């Protein structure tokens, strides 16, 4: 069974992929989940990462992954809830969409956290839970209402689990804005987006990687949110 594992959900692309590779290369035993096969899975496997297909859009899918943890993992050094979907909204506003967003961003982390408490406590050093949310949890969005509501709920779970699991487990949030553009984003969109932050740069996935590394090294921070938005929250 894996000991002192670092579990990262949604780790087959973008930020999750960069984080999984970084931690694996720095001596951690990483477990990465992915929903559907991607090129990133091959990169992870080549690096020695344990890859597990998991679908968090249903309660049964979450329970299946929890059962896998029960069978394969003895102790957990860190649990990073990165699995996310904001592209699904695209103007839809209906009950099924809200249920879908809450399932992925709230129910899945909630059930997994509660199910692995003993494995977190069993780690050889203070364990961490890290929720990846979004800078919009405090601002809202008229285009991604269900997404923002679900990420705000996940942000609140940070506070509750930080209280419940102290002092054996630290629980924190990282709330980034857009870190990486997609290949099909045109220049006008890129310029417009960068102007929304006071720093005006595209930071890349490395910002989250470094934030996670900081949290893992910290001994005295829990129940906090690290905002990685380039100053969007103070932009006019």
Closest CA to 175 of 111, 122, 224: 224
Per-residue model confidence (pLDDT) at position 139 = 76
Q: Per residue in 161-213, pLDDT tens?
A: 999 999 999 999 999 876 555 556 556 656 566 666 666 666 678 888 999 99
Per-residue model confidence (pLDDT) at position 39 = 84
Per-residue pLDDT band for 81 (boundaries 50, 70, 90) equals: very high
**Does residue 9 have a pLDDT over 90?**
yes
pTM, two decimal places: 0.91
Closest CA to 132 of 80, 182, 177: 80
Q: Which CATH homologous superfamily contains domain 5-228?
A: NAD(P)-binding Rossmann-like Domain (3.40.50.720)
Q: Which two tokens stand for residue 186?
A: 């045109």
Per-residue model confidence (pLDDT) at position 140 = 75
CB 223 within 8 Å of CB 171: yes
Q: Which of the following is catalytic: 135, 147, 189, 220?
A: 147
Active-site residue flag, 100: no
Q: Per residue in 82-136, pLDDT tens?
A: 999 976 666 677 889 999 999 999 999 999 999 999 999 999 999 999 999 988 7
Helix (H) or strand (E) holding 60: helix 59-72
What's the burial of 125, exposed, middle or buried (CB within 10 Å: 0-12/13-18/19+)? exposed
Q: Which two tokens stand for residue 24?
A: 């694996």
Q: Per residue in 35-55, pLDDT tens?
A: 988 789 999 999 999 999 999
**Residue the block writes with tokens 């949890």:** 137
DSSP-derived secondary structure letter, 205? T
Per-residue pLDDT band for 141 (boundaries 50, 70, 90) equals: confident
CB 11 within 8 Å of CB 53: no
Closest CA to 79 of 48, 114, 44, 47: 114
Q: Cβ of 85: how many Cβ atoms within 10 Å?
A: 17
Per-residue model confidence (pLDDT) at position 94 = 84
């Amino acid at each position: 069974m894996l000991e002192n594992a670092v579990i990262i959900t949604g780790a087959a692309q973008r930020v999750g992929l960069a984080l999984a590779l970084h931690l694996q290369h720095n001596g951690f035993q990483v477990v990465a989940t992915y929903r559907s096969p991607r090129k990133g899975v091959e990169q992870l496997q080549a690096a020695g990462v344990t890859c597990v297909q998991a679908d968090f859009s249903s309660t049964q899918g979450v329970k299946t992954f929890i059962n896998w943890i029960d069978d394969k993992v003895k102790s957990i050094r860190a649990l990073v809830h990165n699995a996310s979907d904001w592209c699904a909204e695209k103007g839809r506003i209906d009950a099924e969409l809200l249920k879908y967003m809450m399932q992925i961003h709230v129910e899945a982390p909630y059930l997994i956290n509660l199910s692995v408490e003993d494995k977190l406590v069993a780690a050889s050093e203070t364990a961490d839970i890290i929720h990846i949310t979004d800078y919009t949890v405090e601002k809202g969005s008229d285009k991604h209402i269900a997404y923002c509501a679900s990420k705000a709920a996940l942000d609140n779970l940070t506070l509750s689990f930080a209280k419940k699991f102290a002092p054996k487990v630290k629980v924190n949030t990282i709330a980034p804005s857009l870190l990486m553009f997609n290949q099909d984003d045109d220049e006008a969109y890129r310029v417009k987006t960068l102007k929304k932050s006071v720093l005006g740069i595209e930071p890349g996935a490395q910002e989250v990687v470094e934030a996670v590394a900081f949290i893992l090294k910290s001994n005295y921070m829990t129940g906090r949110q690290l905002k990685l938005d380039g100053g969007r929250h103070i932009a006019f």
